[in-house]
Amino acid sequence: MKRMHKAVGVALSGLVVASSMTMAVAPAQAYDREAAGYAASHFLSVSQLPKEFAAKKAMNISVTTPALKQYVCDYGPLGNKIVWAGKPDLSTNAFYNPKGKGLSLDINVGQYKSNVAAEKAFSQLSKDIKKCDGTFTGSWSDENDNPVPYENVITSGKIPAVTVTGVQSIFTNENSNNAASGDLPAYLNDSMSIFTLVNDVIITTTGSTGSALNFTAKQKKALIQVANDMVTTWVD
């Protein structure tokens, strides 16, 4: 990024708090200060979120230079294969605190060295994401060596409602069902991630219900709105 359009009320070293925002960053030599500053100042504020994801004032932002590619999904009959997105040069995450029980919302911005590099990564992800589709089952052992079954069902596709310069966003929707074990309750979750190409970044907007309830039509529409609004905020 060549310049910052908004003032940043944080220092880019260590762990700091400013305006109800907590920001953790990598060591000074490990990231581009200007790029990190732009990223930190171009996320949606809590007040900009739709009512379906109304959140507490505090939000956390972390800036890192990732060592690995971005995880997208497990796949295969046993879920032992992984789809990755290309590793960006800088990764910035915003974690919100929705007031709704079990709800979570976070936004990741992966910045690449150029528009071309981001386009290449997104093009490859658009092909690989289809591998996520399907159901995989398995089990893990609890502390008493009792098998605990689980099942994940994943679908993927495109979201024409979030289109930037003619490129449609893509998504994964994952339903997880882990059986209860001992003192551990069953883990049920509906999670949706929207991947959007914007210039030299890929923005990933992810929401989860944290319960057996699937996202309602209004919640899915609200998540799509968050993805759209994030594009506007990022390029502003």
Tens-place pLDDT, residues 69-103: 999 998 887 777 899 999 999 999 999 999 998 89
Looking at residue 128, what is its pLDDT?
Answer: 96
Domains of the chain (ranges, CATH numbers)? 15-235 (3.40.1000)
CB contact at 8 A, 198 and 164: yes
The band of 201, judged by pLDDT with boundaries at 50, 70 and 90, is: very high
| Mean pLDDT of the chain, nearest integer | 83
Answering whether pTM is above 0.85, one says no
> pLDDT higher for 65 or 167?
167
Looking at residue 10, what is its pLDDT?
Answer: 30
Question: Which range is least confidently modeled, 17-21, 40-44, 64-68, 181-185?
Answer: 17-21
The band of 149, judged by pLDDT with boundaries at 50, 70 and 90, is: confident
Looking at residue 32, what is its pLDDT?
Answer: 64
DSSP label of 165: T
By percentage, how much of the chain surpasses pLDDT 90? 56
pLDDT higher than 60, residue 184: yes
> Chain centroid to CA 225: how far?
15
pLDDT higher than 70, residue 1: no
CB contact at 8 A, 184 and 143: no
- Helices vs. strands in the chain: H and E counts, helices first: 3, 12
Q: What are the tens digits of pLDDT across the range 19-30?
A: 344 444 444 334
CA distance 87 to 71: 10
DSSP label of 196: E
Tokens standing for 221?
């529409």
CA triplet 79, 130, 116: central angle to 5 degrees?
Answer: 120
Looking at residue 166, what is its pLDDT?
Answer: 95
Burial of 233 (0-12, 13-18, 19+ CB in 10 A): middle
CB contact at 8 A, 39 and 92: yes
CB contact at 8 A, 4 and 41: yes
Tokens standing for 225?
């709105």
